[in-house]
Amino acid sequence: MRSLTLAEARDRSELITVGSYAVQLDLDQGAEVFGSVATVRFTCASPGADSWVDLKAREIHSIRLNGRELDPATVDEGRLPLPGLAADNELTVDATMAYSHDGQGLHRATDPADGRDYVYGHLFLDAAPSVFVCFDQPDLKAPYGITVKAPQEWTVIGNGATTQTAPGEWRLATTKPLATYFVTVCAGPYVSVRDEHDGIPLGLHARQSLREPLERHAAEIFEVTKQSFDYFHGLFGIRYPFGDYDQVFVPEFNAGAMENPGCVVLRDQYIFRGAATQDELLTRANTVSHEMSHMWFGDLVTMKWWDDLWLNESFAEYMSHRCLVDATQYTEAWVDSSIERKVWGYGAERSPSTHPVAGVEALDAISALQNFDGISYAKGAAALRQLIAYVGDDRFIAGVRAYLTDKSYGNGTLADFLAAIQAASGSDLDGWAKAWLLTAGRDTISVDLAEESGRVTAATLTREAPADHPADRPHALDVAGWTDGTQTARVETTVAAPEVSLEGLVDTPTPAVLVPNASDLTWARVVLSDKTIGALPTQLSQVPDAQTRAVVWSSLVDGLHTAEVAPTVLLDVFEGAWTRERNSSILTRTAGYAEHVVVGVFLPREQRPAARERLARCGRALLDTAEPGSTSSLAAARLVAGTSADEELLRGWATGHGLPAGLEDDGDFRWIVVRNLARRGALSDADIERFRASDDTLQGSLNALMCRAARPDPEAKAWAWDQLTGRNGRSNYEMNHLARGFWAAPSDDLVEPYVARYFVDVPAMSAWVGEDALSRVVTLAFPQVYTDATARRSAETLERGDLTPAVRRSLVDADADLREVLASRAAFGDSA
């Protein structure tokens, strides 16, 4: 299918104004297809002109434009020509559409727990034409009136409040003007929990097999929802404009959530079946608040073209963390951002695919998606924090209010947003925007100390811009020193030159640990001194400031990926500090990183068993001392379950014997244990099937696939590869779980034959897998055989001209990760 170009979108928006959509969906035609009858009313600025509308149908039954029939055969590559338009036009298309199984368009999934089917719409980025005929670009917004026919036992939820007009028939209230990619319909035998707040009807919905956890978690989700509404109403000065507010937790969702106005769709893994750590609850709360902030920034005001999509996400990323800290119990949300979101963004910044936050003109819709990553979210949010430091919070919020008011129900651009902030603050933002938004890369920040007799005699903060992306970025940040848990000094400064003298550190005690950007206020690569790194195994756990500890861990991760910090150094710090960590986000994120990246990627396979046992000892030590049922206890148990070589312990836990408190009936925890056993070759396919039968749910089936793929024998690998890369009707989630398990092996020899096959078989999947879903498969299935031979094959593949944009972008990033591992091993050798 052709991708809409920016030039085409501009031309069409000058010609066409959409007045309304009336969409009739018939979801009662079986498991493969659905009916779609859509009427679009629109005007044409130049009567007699030609245009086109977007349509991706399985079968077209009729097309009527202004009373005359058009030939369905004229549809070409998803475009229906519209010849000889009048000033006022009415187009009706009656078509049969296909359900998807890759998370795009109208996705249909079956829950193995009870055999029931569930449908949800995810129309981002260009999937709307696979559901109804439309002018599919973000600046052609219009109201929608939707009716749905569905099996009688189903419930229907959508952007407008739903009314059941007859058995199996539903009408959704006409919406405010929406961009096409925000339209959604969710239908199936969903169970619901309802509430109301400030005159806004609230709903939570999930699969029937998740009824118990949905009801168990509903009060907490509603609380965050209500707190976020109150906060954003007060902050923006504009009431929520889209009627009801439903949150639908759906199966097999590609992203974390989607901000459809009035009907937010979220991945149903957020309805935790078993025990959940505090940081998992924080992540869910952050997602709830993030999507709600989009109701104003993204939904009420939508970007004019996809190259400004970053602003929607950066704004929501910033606002959700701000809201959690100011209005909810999750006051350490910025710590979670430091250890998870910014680490993700820094990884994107290190890759050859790095790009500016803004200003990268997307020549077509698909290319815009390739720059939709951790830079769009985490770096953009950090840039907004620096903008606030630059202009002042009151002025920033005044500018946001003006922007939202002026552009309500319409579209805006980066220039419009900056103009509003500039008018409210009186500040010239041209230089700031050029440095922070329009230039790729991040500065490196470090501090050099001179000392004498245990006192600091001079301190210099150095700011170094990347040579290939020079910029003059001002940074508002702080520097803090700590010794044995006591803060020796903290200096706030604005860095606007390559070097800045930190007079506030002079004549203070020389700290054991010195941390630039200690409060993590800016976006930069923080380099710690060798002295600080050497002290961390004993000193880090004593630092009482969780934000600073998160910055330290982020710096160590950066150093690992840039071959400046050895994997064993991270393990030394982990062993010294982890069992005494108090912050849930740091505790769980660093454990996962140590297990799956430091040991699972950077260490050669022959060194992993001993390193895993080292991690298991840490887990057992914390498990012995943690309060039963606490986040610390759960994090420790998960680490032991994933790393221990004690098969007697693992088999006992897998069968429910001797489990830590709170995990007695936790199916998700059991699968961590089962995967460890499967990876070790301690389980057969029949053993895994028995565990699946005891957890006969969607998640249980997915975990069973991952465990079967992880088994260390040639037959298991051959089966998994065929299931992953063949046309077997596997869903997006099934492919992901097969890929996650596949490269587990005791040696490279078992999986090395699949390295060459990856570079042929996976790109070919673009013939039947959507770009959004395939991009994840490319990343997850990338060969975990870290050799020069793999690097050569990867480089050769990137020279091919037939890769789709999503495959190429994901392959570039995966190739960069491979070269980081090779550089680390070259720097630190086999003793790493």
Provide the 8-state DSSP code for 4.
Answer: P
Neighbours of 42 (CB within 10 A): 22
Considering only CA atoms, give the Rg of the chain: 27
Rounded distance between C-alpha atoms, residue 724 and residue 764, angstroms: 12
**Both structure tokens of 521:** 């206020």
Rounded distance between C-alpha atoms, residue 505 and residue 508, angstroms: 6
Rounded distance between C-alpha atoms, residue 183 and residue 618, angstroms: 48
Encode burial over 172-203: b for 16+ CB neighbours within 10 A, e otherwise: bbbbbbbbbbbbbbbbbbbbebebebeebebb
Rounded distance between C-alpha atoms, residue 250 and residue 121, angstroms: 10
Is the separation of the CB atoms in 168 and 150 below 8 Å? yes
Q: What angle do CA 454, 456, 461 make, to 5 degrees?
A: 145
**Partners of 509 in beta bridges:** 455
Rounded distance between C-alpha atoms, residue 742 and residue 315, angstroms: 37
By annotation, the residues acting in catalysis are 291
E-only strand ranges, 173-230? 185-188, 191-197, 200-206
CA atoms within 13 A on the CB side of 91: 29
Closest CA to 442 of 353, 375, 518: 375
Rounded distance between C-alpha atoms, residue 355 and residue 817, angstroms: 17
Residue 759 belongs to what H/E stretch? helix 753-764
Q: Is the peptide bond before 125 cis (omega within 30 degrees of 0)?
A: yes
Neighbours of 361 (CB within 10 A): 10
Find the DSSP H helices in 644-731: 647-654, 667-679, 685-694, 698-710, 714-725
**Partners of 122 in beta bridges:** 105
Closest CA to 107 of 119, 117, 98, 97: 119
